[in-house]
């Protein structure tokens, strides 16, 4: 005969929570992963869409902490005379059990930064956005 035990709410909350440090997300034809650190001590970001697969680390990754989320950005297209394109991931604040993972939903923002070498063409709106809903997992891992 087996006995099933249920945890009281106090027992269930006894597990210490830690911040997630690895995010693996997909949606709208994009596959994105971000880790706050790696075995080299640097953050890592990978971006894949239908036409490119890119990897970034260290100073190639820009991070801005805010109330909304941590915004992590990378430049996915660079041009000398026509602007650039960046991808920004809204990384929500997530707590998990040590070495655990949880399902999350967030957004990625692809921004085309328009630029012309002709100054007269640099009027008006110069940043154009495409927002993609993303889902996946947030985990706590040891690097």
Which residues are CB-neighbours of 102 under 8 A, at least 6 positions away?
20, 94, 96, 137, 138, 139
Q: Between 87 and 68, whose confidence is greater?
A: 87
Q: Quick: pLDDT tens for 15-73.
A: 799 999 999 999 999 999 999 999 999 999 999 999 999 999 999 999 999 999 999 99
Instruction: Flag whether 55 is in a domain.
Output: yes
Burial class (CB within 10 angstroms; exposed 0-12, middle 13-18, buried 19+) of 137: middle
Looking at the structure of the chain, the number of domains it has is 1
Q: Quick check: is 115 in a domain? A: yes
Answer yes or no: is 57 within a domain.
yes
Q: What is the mean pLDDT of the chain?
A: 89
Q: Which domain holds residue 60?
A: 17-139
113: closest CA among 94, 124, 93, 128?
A: 128
Q: Lowest mean pLDDT: which of 3-12, 30-39, 92-101, 109-118? A: 3-12
* 23 neighbors 34 (Cβ within 8 angstroms): yes
| pLDDT grade for 3, boundaries at 50, 70 and 90 | very low
Considering the domain boundaries, does residue 6 fall inside one? Answer: no
Tell me if 113 is assigned to some domain. yes
- Percent of the chain with pLDDT strictly greater than 90: 73
Give this prediction's pTM.
0.84
What is the CATH classification number for the domain harbouring 123? 2.40.128
């Amino acid at each position: 005969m087996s006995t099933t035990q249920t945890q009281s709410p106090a027992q269930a909350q006894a597990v210490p929570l830690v911040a997630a440090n690895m995010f693996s997300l997909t949606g709208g034809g994009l596959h994105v992963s971000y880790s706050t650190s790696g075995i080299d001590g640097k953050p890592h970001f990978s971006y894949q869409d239908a036409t490119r697969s890119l990897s970034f680390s260290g100073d190639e990754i820009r991070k801005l902490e805010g109330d909304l989320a941590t915004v992590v950005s990378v430049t996915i297209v660079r041009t000398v005379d026509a602007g650039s394109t960046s991808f920004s991931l809204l990384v929500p604040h997530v707590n998990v059990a040590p070495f655990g993972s949880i399902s999350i939903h967030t957004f990625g923002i692809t921004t085309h930064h328009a630029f012309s070498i002709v100054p007269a063409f640099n009027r008006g709106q110069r940043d154009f956005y495409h927002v993609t809903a993303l889902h996946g997992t947030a985990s706590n891992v040891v690097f």
